[in-house]
Every structure is written in C-alpha cells, then in structure tokens.
C-alpha cells in the first residue's frame, strides 16, 4: 500500500526527544523558547509563540483580534473544520465566501460584499500550502480597518512574492499567522502549533492566555531565589506546547529546506506525468506563489465519481484522500449560526471533485509512476464515470 503521507522522522528527532525527557524539564521551557526563536527566524517574523495546535492558535488569535459573541468573521467554508470552529469558540459567526477554483483559496473578489458593521476580522487560509492572494486581501482589510489573520496550518515553507522579493508565509503578511505541526504537515511535532505576529502586545497576550493567564511563568518562579506567588488576572487556557514536542520541531525545522525541495520536485513530476489525462486538472501555482506542496490536490474529470475512483485506487494499493471539506455541509453547522452572502458553488464542487495523491519525502519514482499510470487508467477505463448523487 502506498500511503498518503509519511512524516520525515528519524533518529535525530528520537534523540532530541530523549535528551529532553532525560533533562528533567519537559514542558514549555527552554526548548519551546528555542523553537519559537528558530521558527521566527525561519519565516522572518518579529514574534512567534508556540501553542498546543493550530486550532488553539486560531482561537487565541481571534480573541486577540477582538472577536467576541455575535461578531462576524469573514472566512471560507472550504477548509478543515477547525478554521470555522475557532470562530465559534469565540462566540463569533463565520461568514463564508466562495473560493477561486484554481487555487482552492478565498476569492478576494467576494470579500468586500461579505463585510458588514458586525465584521470583526478576516480569516483567510493558505489551503494545503498554496498561498492565498494576500496582495488583494490586505488592502481590503486595511480599507475596512479589520485585522487579517492567516490560517497557515499547512503552509510552513510556502512563499509569496511581496515587495519585490520572495518571502515566507508567516512573516506575517497580515496581522498574525497560525501554523499546525500535525503529522500531515511538513514540520511535525505530533501535535503542535505556532502563532507569528507583527504585534508585540498580541504576542504578550498569547503567552499569558496559553498558560492559564498565570502572571509569573513557572520558568521564572523556578529560577528565582525569592518566593513568588503568581496570580490569574483573567480567564486563560492550557494551550501549552511541551519541550519534547519543541525539541522534535527544532530537528524538523533543520530539514525543512530539503523537505520543500523534494516536494517541489515530486509535485512537478506529478504534473508532467498527468499532463495529458483527459479532463483531469492538476494544481498550478499563481506567478506570485510558491507552494510547499503540503498536498498535491487534483480535480477529477466532471464525469468521474470521486469515491469510486478513490476506491479503485485503494484496491490497486494507492491511498488517496478526498479534497478539502466544506464546514457548512457538516451536521455540526446545520443548527449553528453562519451565513454566506453568495452561493458556495466552487467550494462544494471542489469538495466533490478533488482528490489528494500520495506525497512524501521518500516516495519513489517507481511508485509515483505507478500512481500516475493507475489514475490515468481509471479515468480512461471510465468505470467510475457515474456522477455521485
Ligand atoms: C486549514 C487548517 N486549519 C486548521 C487546522 C487545525 O490544525 P491542528 O490539527 O493543528 O489543530 C488544520 C489541520 O489540518 C488545517 O488544515
């Protein structure tokens, strides 16, 4: 079976974790601080704050942006459900705009019509690592005085052309960017997240909230020769990252350039292998974007049934995943407040027709050729050519 992904973990990560375990300090200590520093350097961000995952990163960032009960946040439904959920954790109402079907990202042309007096923030997503159009989105946010938050869960190492040069996602180009270190991502710590921001006061607030709003962190109290009693001036959360995770993340960061180079090579190879499969659409980078190819997401010909195609590939030893979900179609959103100023046709179409192909560092050329060959055969054989109900 060719899996959908394999994390690039080896002896280096195992030794880093073991070093921390034997050190006697295993949560949110020196390793987390070093990981934050190194991550900030990697993406050229002024501030980086580690948290327990990207969902908690989004929650804290929306709170810092001032999102509270009844406020609206303009975002996409076509994303992992955590994007919309994080708005609801603040009591906010997601306002879904449709996507540009070529990039699977928020269509900037639809954003302005979604903004009302109740809008508190714009939350865009760099979907599966493909940068969204920050050059279009930022002026809209600025015109309306709204914070622009980037869900960069999948985008560690992706780049955009900005002010005449290539810059990494996470600088950030909006007000803050949130990353995930789940095993499907390029940098993985098992679970984990990072918030980069341009605002010093937001960063300070994140550091309080992530540890129950404890006034004096345990690292400081531990190092002090005075007895210190901490206080809890406001409601906080346990959104800590452990030092074990951070040590793994530091090793992963060292590998990032190599991981990206390899994925770019594999993505470009897929595109040439699949170039003339009738009706099949391969992903393309806009001129101003460089994806880290966290996922290689193709669109099947209109006539092909997504589930049947995936089942045939599975029967032939190839694991795939359906394209990105749409939150508004899930039962968790049926009774909940959300709105959409226009139909979400491109989002729904993408959910129904896209599939993600295996892509990982040591995917062999032979396996990649086999995947392309089988996919071409399935499309040409036409067995699954009944449109799903
Ligand atoms: C776009 C997007 N946002 C948020 C998340 C949530 O990340 P985490 O699992 O680290 O909470 C994911 C996870 O896959 C994602 O793809």
Q: Could you read off the pLDDT of 69-109 as tens digits, one per residue?
A: 999 999 999 999 999 999 999 999 999 999 999 999 999 99
> Residue 84: CB within 6 Å of ligand 1?
no
Average pLDDT for residues 25-38, to the nearest whole number? Answer: 97
Domain residue limits, the chain: 11-254, 256-381
Q: Is the CB of 52 under 6 A from ligand 1?
A: no
Q: Mean pLDDT over all residues of the chain?
A: 96
Cα of 231 from ligand 1 centre, angstroms: 32
Per-residue pLDDT, 381: 87
The predicted structure's pLDDT at residue 388: 43
pLDDT of amino acid 302: 85
Task: Give yes or no for residue 216 having a pLDDT over 90.
Answer: yes
Task: Give the pLDDT band (50/70/90) at residue 303.
Answer: confident
> Does residue 385 carry a pLDDT above 60?
no
CB 126 within 8 A of CB 150: yes
What is the whole-number distance in angstroms between the Cα of residue 105 and the centre of ligand 1? 15
SS3 for the chain is CECCCCCCCCHHHHHHHHHHHHHCCCECCHHHHHHHHHHHHHHCCCEEEEECCHHHHHHHHHHHCCCCCCCEEEEECECCCHHHHHHHHCCCEEEEECEECCCCEECHHHHHHHCCCCEEEEEEECHHHCCCCHHHHHHHHHHCCCCEEEECCCCCCCEEEECCEEEECCCCCCCEEEEECCCCCCCCCCCCEEEEECCHHHHHHHHHHCECCCCCCHHHHHHCCCCCCCCCCCCCCECCCEHHHHHHHHHHHHHHHHHHHHHHHHHHHHHHHCCCCCCCECCCCCCCEECCCCCEEEECCCCCCHHHHHHHHHHCCECCEECCCEHHHCHHHCCCCCECCCCCHHHHHHHHHEEEECCCCCCCHHHHHHHHHHHHHHHHHCCCCCCCC
Architecture field, domain 256-381: Alpha-Beta Complex (3.90)
pLDDT at 374 over 80: yes
Q: What are the pLDDT digits (tens) for 119-128? A: 999 999 999 9
Specify the pairing of strand 105-106 against strand 99-100.
Answer: antiparallel
Q: Write the pLDDT tens digit of every residue in 133-165.
A: 999 999 999 999 999 999 999 999 999 999 999
Nearest to 375 by CA among 271, 261, 260: 271
In the chain, the percentage of residues whose pLDDT exceeds 70 is: 98
Task: Check if 130 has its Cβ closer than 6 Å to any atom of ligand 1.
Answer: no
pLDDT of residue 389: 40
pTM confidence score: 0.97
Does the structure show a pLDDT above 70 at 312? yes
Distance (angstroms) between ligand 1 centre and the Cα of 344 equals 21
53 lines ligand 1 (CB under 6 A): yes
Mean pLDDT along residues 276-296:
96
**Residue 8: band (very low, low, confident or very high) from pLDDT cuts 50, 70, 90:** very high
On the question of pLDDT at 285 being above 70, the answer is yes
Which ligand 1 atom minimizes the distance to the CA of 58? 4
- Is the pLDDT at 387 greater than 90? The verdict is no
Please tell me the distance between residue 223's alpha carbon and the centre of ligand 1 in angstroms: 35
Pairwise CA distance, residues 133 & 172, whole Å? 13
Mean per-residue pLDDT, 53-65: 98
Ligand 1 centroid, distance to 116 Cα (angstroms): 27
Say yes or no: CB of residue 76 within 6 Å of ligand 1.
no
Q: Please give the CATH number for the structural domain made up of 11-254.
A: 3.40.640.10
**Ligand 1 within 6 A of CB of 180:** yes
Task: Determine if ligand 1 sits within 6 Å of the CB of residue 356.
Answer: no
* Mean pLDDT within 345-353: 97
């Amino acid at each position: 079976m060719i899996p959908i992904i394999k994390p690039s973990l080896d002896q280096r990560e195992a030794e880093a974790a073991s070093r921390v375990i034997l050190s006697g300090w295993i949560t949110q200590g020196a390793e987390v601080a070093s990981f934050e520093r190194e991550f900030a350097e990697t993406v050229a961000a002024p501030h980086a704050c580690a948290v327990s995952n990207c969902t908690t990163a989004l929650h804290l960032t929306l709170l810092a942006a001032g999102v509270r009960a009844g406020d609206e946040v303009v975002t996409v439904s076509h994303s992992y459900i955590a994007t919309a959920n994080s708005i609801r954790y603040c009591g906010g109402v997601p306002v879904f705009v449709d996507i540009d079907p070529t990039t699977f990202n928020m269509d900037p042309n639809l954003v302005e019509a979604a903004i009302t007096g109740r809008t508190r923030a714009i939350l865009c997503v760099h979907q599966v690592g493909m940068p969204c159009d920050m050059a279009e989105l930022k002026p809209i946010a600025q015109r309306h005085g709204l914070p622009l938050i980037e869900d960069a869960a999948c985008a560690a190492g992706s780049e955009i052309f900005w002010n005449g040069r290539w810059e990494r996602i996470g600088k950030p180009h909006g007000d803050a960017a949130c990353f995930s270190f789940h095993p499907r991502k390029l940098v993985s710590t098992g679970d984990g997240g990072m918030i980069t921001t341009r605002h010093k006061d937001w960063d300070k607030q994140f550091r309080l909230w992530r540890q129950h709003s404890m006034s004096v962190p345990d690292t400081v109290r531990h190092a002090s020769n005075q007895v210190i009693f901490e206080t809890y001036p406001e409601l906080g959360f346990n959104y800590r990252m452990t030092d074990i995770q951070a040590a793994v993340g530091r090793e992963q960061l060292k590998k990032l350039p190599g991981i990206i180079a390899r994925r770019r090579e594999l993505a470009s190879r897929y595109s040439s292998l699949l170039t003339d499969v009738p009706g099949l659409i391969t992903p393309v980078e806009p001129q101003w974007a460089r994806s880290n190819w966290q996922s290689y997401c193709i669109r099947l010909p209109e006539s092909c049934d997504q589930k049947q195609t995936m089942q045939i590939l599975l029967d032939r030893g190839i694991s795939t995943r359906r394209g990105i979900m749409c939150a508004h179609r899930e039962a968790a959103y049926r009774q909940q407040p959300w709105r959409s100023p226009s139909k979400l046709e491109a989002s729904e179409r993408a959910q129904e027709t896209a599939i993600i192909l295996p892509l990982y560092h040591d995917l062999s050329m032979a396996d990649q050729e086999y995947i392309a060959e089988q996919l071409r055969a399935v499309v040409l054989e036409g067995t699954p050519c009944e449109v799903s109900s």
